[in-house]
Chains A and B, each alone.
Chain A
Amino acid sequence: MPRWTLLAATLCLTGSAVLLWQRSQPGPAANPAPAPAEVTSVQTDVVPAGIVVTESSPAVPPPGDHRAPGDRLLGDYADPAHPPANDLTLLGRAISSFLLIDKQAADRPLSANEEWSAALRGKRPGTEPWLSDPSPIFDSRKRLIDRWQTPLIFHALGGKQWEIRSAGPDRKPWTADDLIEKTSG
């Protein structure tokens, strides 16, 4: 056996022994180990099959608190405390983030409001929800709407760029009070 192989094996064994010794030593008194998370109840009905829940597992939120990843980005959507243009900025960010995660999304048609809605709700083949359904951003027909309850218009510019148009307070698209935001993937 070559000498360098013996040397490497010896080093590995020595390193392992040192690590084991260090783990067996108690920590310094000034920094006691953090207490394990106190678990009062475990919502086992929302735990995916195959996952074993122990007392030291982090708490699983109840089903009502389960929100899709993009929901946080739309927290202030349609909030009267913010200007209407803020809504489209938030949606633009949510869309950019969605396209960052789902790299293939833009290869499939994303032009009509209904196509965007399906994509963001995870209703397209092989996709996960990015926005919760129901959500204030969807109307009863699952269309993405502005704060005046008018369906948003998506203009596919190409090259993973879109223009989002809100019909504005007059609720008529293509008029002077329309709000427009560009977003890209």
Chain B
Amino acid sequence: MPPQPISRRSFLRQFNCAAVSSSAILNTLLNLRLANNAAADDLGGGTDAKALVCIFLSGGIDSFQMLVPWEQSRYDSYSATRGAFGSDGGLALDRNTLLRLNGTSSDFAFHPSMAGLHQMATGTGAFAGKQRLAAIANIGTLVQPITKSQYQAWENGSNAALPIPRALFSHSDQIEQWQTAIPQGMLELTGWAGRAADLLNSAYNTGATSMSISLSGNNVLQVGRDTTQFVITPGGSLSFENYSTPHQLKNQALRSTLEQSYSNLLEQSFASLTKQSDDAQLLFQQQFDSSTGDLGTASSLFPGNNYLATMLRAVLRSIKIRSALGLRRQTFFINWGGWDMHGDLLQPQAYQLADVDAALTAFQLGLEQLGFANDVVTFTASDFGRTLRSNGRGTDHAWGGNAFVMGGPVDGGKIFGTYPDLTLDGPDDVGYGGRLLPSTSADVYFAEMLRWFGVPATSMATVLPNIANFWNPVSGTPPLGFIKS
């Protein structure tokens, strides 16, 4: 039979169908590759259970007030850049009030409001003999390592091909990039914890509850291709229960509609999915409220009138019921905002840091008391660092900042990465009042934790697509070294 001439209409129809089906095939192939990699690495072995807890300090925290140079010449440079303590518009903290670190970190100190975290870093007080907290200096979003001269050439247009994070210094763009770990932008919006969950969930978890638990509503960090987020509140899951009588009647009616059979496939699918979700919420709440979820005396460690502490108490309970939920891997997300301090820095930051300090200290003490200290790594992240120079009252958006990581697996008391030169227009400053070029990529920070969490070296690039620009996952060496080997 001779070949039939193809009409324009039929060509377009077939082309569109091919395009649609090839997208599906590509997705399938990507998922198969993910599954094959995971199978090859024998995921799910052992009996360990681990959790990663992200405290996202949104607004862009001024973290050079949290980790401050204490050594005199370094402090002088800090003071000159920020404006001397007590001077008009000066933002430097009083050196006499700083909480000095010990050991190899003794050239540096913490903000006076970080007394609990200071004990955790120095292994003193409530954490005597247990150094649980480390800092990562001058960390930020990067696509690949760059130098100041390369960045300046890019700004001037002579190095246009240099990959630079998109929309630097802007809140939501940088929040997104910290959570996707793809600062050049991506077509499919998934977070690095979500991609890790896609890889690990079926290997480690058996329960109906998602391993990606958020106390701050939906977020980008935990968005996966296959795994979903499970949003809870400090009181437990978002169930259709515990409301007043009119709401209970409405909820009964809603449940009844979900249990019906529908001939329409869309309706049936919607009802099934909603019911699955409702069942998972009920199971979670059942366990959360049971004796398994009871924190006992650890509950009293958490201060009142501190919402972050209340959320972390719920995280601790969620970790305590992990076996009952069938979860050996969990990620938790908490957004804690209010750090965008352009108009006033010193007082508001001191108050807010005191809350963070009390909440994180209570959480770590609770983990220690309940025997979960070695199973949990808690880390901070923020939109960006802030300008070193005072704008007269506060500081503005910048780039590199400091992050903090705590837990039993953490090699505490140390500062990882390279603490920058805080001199204005110095070697690390890329302009506009002290924007620091990050010397450590957020990717290696995440990679270190994901390596501990169980993401195999061969799959690390699937979760962190830019990681090979900073570290070779199959090298056998840790990316930064803050997790004890």
Contacts and interface: CB of A to CB of B under 8 A. Distances in A.
B168 A109 contact: yes
Nearest to B397: A111
Interface stretch (B70-78, B124-132, B170-178, B442-450): B170-178
Interface in B168-205: 168-176
Given A111-B397, A174-B342, A156 B171 contact: yes
Contacts of A60: none
A110 B170 contact: yes
Grouping DSSP codes into helix (H, G, I), strand (E, B) and loop, the B interface class, with mixed when no group exceeds half, is loop
A181 interface: no
Interface residues on chain B, size class: 20 to 34
Interface string B387-424: 00001111011000000000000000000000000000
Interface residues of A, number: 21
Contacts of B32: none
A90 B433 CA distance: 28
B46 interface: no
Grouping DSSP codes into helix (H, G, I), strand (E, B) and loop, the A interface class, with mixed when no group exceeds half, is loop
Contacts of B342: 153, 155, 174
Contacts of A115: 432
A174 B433 CA distance: 18
Nearest to B160: A125
A156 B344 contact: no
B396 A125 contact: no
Contacts of B160: 125-126
Contact of A111 (B156, B157, B168): B168
A175 to B, nearest CB: 9
Contacts of B175: 158
26 contacts: A109-B169, A110-B169, A110-B170, A111-B169, A111-B432, A112-B396, A124-B157, A125-B160, A126-B160, A156-B167, A156-B170, A157-B172, A158-B167, A158-B170, A158-B171, A158-B172, A158-B173, A158-B174, A158-B175, A159-B172, A172-B392, A173-B343, A173-B391, A173-B393, A174-B342, A174-B393
Interface of B: 156-157, 160, 166-176, 342-344, 391-394, 396-397, 432-433
Interface of A: 106-112, 114-115, 124-126, 153, 155-159, 172-174
